Amino acid sequence: MLTKIFGTFIAGRAAVGLLVIRLILGSGLAMHGWGKIQNPMHWMDKMPAPAPGVLQLLAAVSEFGGGLALVFGLLTPLACLGIICTMLTAAAKVPPPDKAYLNLIAAPGYELLGHYFAAALGLLLTGPGVLSLDALLFGKSPRRY
């Protein structure tokens, strides 16, 4: 079943590129989620409108655990889905900028959310590459690009 989810893993130079993306994205998310995983159900308590504890826990696990999963290339599709959902939720919660015009790209918080979202979506669509635990555990013959 899982081999159908993963398909064929990308090899060659493209696999090295996917590894670099996974390492940077995963380590950034893990560091971003480290403080949240320390107090997973109450890290938003000082915010004006905190989310319920269960949702805070899901976000903490998604960022910290999903980040670590990406670093190792383990269960990459699941990690990417969690990250994408977390970034979409965070984007909905980030208040708009205090300006006469709405500049979503440069607004505080939106840029980083956009980067995490785009990278996770890209990895979800391409897969982790042959340089991953997913390829080792669920791999077929590699594709070269």
What's the average model confidence in pLDDT over 105-122? Answer: 81
The angle subtended at Cα 59 by Cα 37 and Cα 66, nearest 5°, is 80
| pTM passes above 0.95 | no
What's the average model confidence in pLDDT over 105-127? Answer: 84
Predicted confidence at residue 93, as pLDDT, reads 78
Cβ neighbours of residue 2 closer than 8 Å, sequence gap 6 or more: 138
Is 70 exceeded by the pLDDT of residue 100?
no
Predicted confidence at residue 101, as pLDDT, reads 45
Say what percent of the chain tops pLDDT 70. Answer: 81
CA distance 118 to 128: 15
Model pLDDT for residues 48-66, shown as the tens digit of each residue: 667 888 988 999 999 999 9
